[in-house]
Structure 1
């Protein structure tokens, strides 16, 4: 896993605490970063499993030499091949008309 993570840019979100009030803003950071990055071309993937393992969290904090608690990782990189945009429903299919939802 370490070798795979080293191939791209890795954002690790740290918070000063580890309570509920820390988790929500920690989730917003990779979301906003991911949206901004993908608009410019890179692809991203959120990796949360490692921070659920206590020893891995301690190791991440030690490697980064940062105080706090690692909450989530976001891996960014240039895709090996072009990624087609997903099919989207037209806006009219999502709007409410005559009290009914289409």
Structure 2
């Protein structure tokens, strides 16, 4: 094992600081929120678009089957409700940020 360490010239990691690990620089919740919230909202919106597209595809390929039509319609309705909830969560986050004078979203 020592031969392998000498051969690969492995050195212990340097101390963690802002230059080599940017998340170590977060000093408040709002700084973390500037990165976390847009990623969460973007990921959720992308997932809902995928599920909405799948529901629309199921709706078009149902060939008049009442069970498949109902399933596809419910999926579309839930996708639209999900998109609405994402927008409401985004605006609620903006409202809370403006009330407490912090910028949670960039």
Q: TM-score, normalised by structure 2?
A: 0.25
Which has the larger helix fraction? Answer: 2
Q: TM-score, normalised by structure 1?
A: 0.25
Query: Computing the radius of gyration over CA atoms, which structure comes out larger, 1 or 2?
Result: 2
